[in-house]
Amino acid sequence: MSDSHRRLDDQYRVTGLTDLAVSPDGDRIAYVTSEFDARANERLSSLFVVPSDGSRDPHRLSRASTVSAPQWSPDGGKLAVLATREEDAALRAANDDPDEEEEEEESPETQLWSFDIERGGDARQVTMFDEGAREFDWGPEGERVVVTARDPTEEQQAYLDQREEDGPVEVTRLQHKYDGQGWLDDVTSYLFVVDVDSREATRIDEAYGGGAREPATGLSPAWSPDGDRIAFLSTRAERPDDVTYSDLYTIRPDGTGLEKVTDSSLAVDGGTWGPTGRHLAFPGSDKDNAYDPTKLHVADIEADEFWAVSASIDRPLSRGGAFDWTDDDTLLGLIGDEGQTRLVRFNAHEDDPERVYERQGALEDLASIAVNGGTVAMHISGPHESPNAHSLAVEAIDDGETDPERLTDLNGDLLEDYDEPETRWVEFESDGQPIEGLVYFPPGHDPEDGNVPLITTIHGGPISYDRPGFNYDYTFWTDRGYALLRVNYRGSASYGGEFSRAIEGDWGHWEPADVIAGIDYVVDEGWINPDRVFVTGFSYGGAQTAYVLSQSDVAAAGAAEHGIYDRYAYFGTGDSHNRMQRDFGLPWDEEETYRGISSITDVGEIDAPLLVTAGGQDWRCPPTQSEQLYVSVAKQGVDSKLVVYEDEHHNIGEPDRAVHRLTELTEWFEDHDPATE
């Protein structure tokens, strides 16, 4: 096998790190890894437990097609997860009827499973919902859990059954589809209280979801430490699919005492109870302004009021709202801060955040945390440092000397085969605005050589940001001799509200200008051969690729992945109509605006060879958008190619397709490199 193909196949070896959970005593950390099974062409996830002091190697508890959301029981004796696996053998034996004809085996639904950590053995199935379980939280006594599950009526079930038989889609909802979930229906999701031993489930009738945000947030149930109330998300507007907010509610486990915590002014994510059960912390962003940094809020349930505790820092709470209580007055959380994700201590009673863990390096990415029992679990990576689980005592956060204990060695053998690229932050100006970016140089290469090819990879969002975490694509390309440029253009989060709001209502103006300025900067520094520049991006980065190619001639070729290019035609065909209306109004009222922010309007200016990719089931950026771009450039005789991954959503999940994608991009750049024979 050639070295080229060996490197491409290395993608099958990459292991990712996802969820972290710390036991109540702080002594153990559970985590989930994501792995490729090349033979079965599946992405699998595995659950591990490791001592937080690193005294033993991690212990694998399971390996299944999907395992997620590990949570320790309050006494630390059990560890529950959501998993998609065959029905529990005990349940299957109890339910078997020898007189029934054997039916064709159906794919299992995701259910709640629990490991008995003290006794050992395999997990025990806790829930048996026909539509599966989506989320859960332990009750404080550890004998019950609260679970989110769909509960169709008889009429709705009849519709679901005919859909299973490839019957027609029938939609009455305004939010008619959602990426990764497909066509939406009218089935309501409720909270259920489930007895762990008996598996008996009781529905809380007043605790239901709804609205356009629910497919993303769920109901996010959280049971208070005193057992008195359960917090959850819901949207109870007259037209819940037509609003951009969601609210936090609480209710008693017996279904009484429903109370609204927030005031419909925020797009709220799930709440986390403080140790005494009086306070409830939650992330919230302005429902009318997506560019306003997401803030951490704290509600006083007894006083019926809430307030922001991170507004003064003018930085967004990290995506996913990673934060946890350390005591009833203090929280630790992550913020996006000038291209990095940093640890911050929040005062629960006033807006007085404090940056901590100051020894974090400039190229150290802190992707997520979990806190319990005086221990902080940390997901840390870097440009040549695989994501690994680490631990640190809460009391050591400020000492500046104690380094986190590394608990895992994911991808260690893989990275031994690759030399480390030189990576540096750079700053340049774009129309007077300081812009930051990350530059990666090929291992062992002199940056002053000047003949290095460059791949400019543009992040999506647009309200996200490039940070120095591990990405196998970058390791692969730098090892192949490419330099990489990643630009935090205007609109990127982590640089404050004003920087993000620069593109409000004006997409396709400052972002490509900033990317082009970054390319000009690295070329002017003498690091890059200007004839060997390539541009690519995924999602909003795909749209940016088309903008850059239509507004400049900086690139020898481009690859636009899973993007949107005609915003006018996009409205109503994807899952983000509320976002578009909030930013730009309605297309029939603002046609000129929608045309102006669409790169397809200037497609006649694109003459660089262009690879276009799409997911056939992508409802975030529908494949028709990529088809439109491809046909438009191909009609002009531009060297072009369209690749559609028919069953994929707004990602590339299947292992063979992930390898195919990287192969397609790499061969496209190599085939259109003027220096390539």
Is the pLDDT at 289 greater than 80? The verdict is yes
249-265 confidence digits (pLDDT tens): 999 999 999 999 999 99
Per-residue pLDDT tens for 439-471?
A: 999 998 887 788 899 999 999 988 899 999 999
Task: Indicate the residue type of 307.
Answer: W
Cα distances (angstroms) measured from residue 12 to each of 103, 239, 414: 35, 45, 10
Give tens-digit pLDDT for 637-675: 999 999 999 988 888 877 888 889 999 999 999 999 998
Question: Coil, helix or strand for 627?
Answer: helix
Spell out the residues 6+ positions from residue 28 whose beta carbon is closer than 8 angstroms to its own.
Answer: 22, 49, 50, 51, 52, 72, 76, 117
State the average pLDDT over residues 360-388. Answer: 94
pLDDT digits (tens, 9 = 90+) for 314-336: 999 987 658 999 999 999 999 99
Whether 280 shows a pLDDT value over 90: the answer reads yes
CA 34 distance to own-chain centroid: 14
Q: Residue 171 pLDDT more than 60? A: yes
- Cα distance between residue 144 and residue 26, in whole Å: 22
**What pLDDT was estimated at residue 101?**
52
pLDDT at 85 over 90: no
Q: Poorest-confidence range of 72-76, 100-104, 584-588? A: 100-104
What secondary structure, in 3-state letters, does 578-606 show?
HHHHHHHCCCCCCHHHHHHCCHHHHHHHC
CA 31 to chain CA mean position, Å? 17
Burial 400-415 (b: 16+ CB within 10 A, else e): eeeebbebbebbeebb
Q: Does the pLDDT of residue 419 top 60, yes or no?
A: yes
Q: Give pLDDT, residue 634.
A: 97
Burial class for 432, CB neighbours closer than 10 Å (0-12, 13-18, 19+): exposed
Question: Does pLDDT of 138 surpass 80?
Answer: yes
Binned at pLDDT 50, 70 and 90, residue 144 comes out as very high
Q: How far, in Å, CA of 181 to CA of 636, rounded?
A: 36
Residue from 121, 127, 136 nearest 21 by CA: 136
Q: Which amino acid is at 304?
A: D
Question: What residues does each domain of the chain span?
Answer: 418-671
Average pLDDT, the chain: 92
Is the pLDDT at 425 greater than 60, yes or no? yes
The pLDDT assigned to 242 comes to: 94
2 pLDDT tier (thresholds 50, 70, 90): very low
Can you give the pLDDT at residue 8? 75
User: What band does 51 get if pLDDT is binned at 50, 70 and 90?
Assistant: very high
Whole-number Å distance between alpha carbons of 673 and 677: 9
Q: What is the model's pTM?
A: 0.93
- For residue range 188-207, what is the model confidence (pLDDT) as tens digits? 999 999 999 999 999 999 99
**CA nearest neighbour of 321 among 466, 216, 407:** 216
Section 260-274 average pLDDT: 95
Residue 389: pLDDT band (50, 70, 90) is: very high
Tell me the CA distances in angstroms from 620 to 109, 151, 231, 465, one per residue in order: 24, 26, 29, 19
Residue-level pLDDT at 93: 61
420: Cα within 13 Å, side-chain hemisphere: 10
Decide if domain 418-671 falls under CATH 3.40.50.1820.
yes
447-475 burial, b at 16+ Cβ within 10 Å, e below that, comes to beeeebbbbbbbbbbbbbbbbbbbbbbbb
| pLDDT for 172 beyond 70 | yes
Judge whether residue 1 has pLDDT over 50: no
Query: Could you report the per-residue pLDDT of 6-24, keeping only the tens digit for each?
Result: 577 888 889 999 999 999 9
CA distances from 314 to 418, 466, 653 (A): 39, 18, 35
Q: How confident is the model at residue 96 (pLDDT cuts 50, 70, 90)?
A: low
Distance (Å, rounded) from C-alpha 185 to C-alpha 152?
10
- Whether 241 has a pLDDT exceeding 90, the answer reads yes
483-488 and 177-178: which strand pairing? unpaired
Confidence grade of residue 92 (pLDDT, cut at 50, 70, 90): low
Which residues have CB under 8 Å from 446's CB, separation 6+? none
